Amino acid sequence: KAGVTQTPRYLIKTRGQQVTLSCSPISGHRSVSWYQQTPGQGLQFLFEYFSETQRNKGNFPGRFSGRQFSNSRSEMNVSTLELGDSALYLCASSIPYNEQFFGPGTRLTVL
């Protein structure tokens, strides 16, 4: 069974730009959660989607948004990028909900 896939794997943007990251969950998994990982703040929950609906949201500004499609694939968008948005963005899928399986992440660098 294929694992969680995320695209792109690496991304370099400049301040003020916007970015869209994609996550394809494990086949049959309908919940997708997004996390931001930085050396200073660790792993922080962004939001979670199930059946195309955002069920939970973390404490991030409105510049961070997401959506989920009918095939359970999910995207997250960050608008007006700031230097502090540089991070590894991870998505995790679950059936739901029990164990979550993480994708390889997208490494975003904001210059």
Q: Cβ(48)–Cβ(34) under 8 Å?
A: yes
> What is the rounded distance in angstroms from the CA atom of residue 58 to the CA atom of residue 25?
20
87 within 8 A of 108, measured Cβ to Cβ: yes
99 binds another protein (CB under 8 A): yes
CB of 28 to another protein, least distance (A): 15
Q: What is the CA 9 to chain-centroid distance, rounded?
A: 12
Among 19, 23, 25, 33, binds another protein (CB under 8 A): 33
**60 binding another protein? (CB under 8 A):** no
97: contact with another protein by CB under 8 A = yes
Contact between 65 and another protein by CB under 8 A: the answer reads no
Q: Does residue 98 bind another protein (CB under 8 A)? A: yes
Residues facing 107 on adjacent strands: 10, 88
> Is the Cβ–Cβ distance between 41 and 85 less than 8 Å?
no
Q: Tell me: does residue 55 bind another protein (CB under 8 A).
A: yes
In the complex, the residues that contact another protein under the rule CB under 8 A are 31, 33, 35, 42-45, 48, 50, 55-56, 58, 90, 94, 96-105
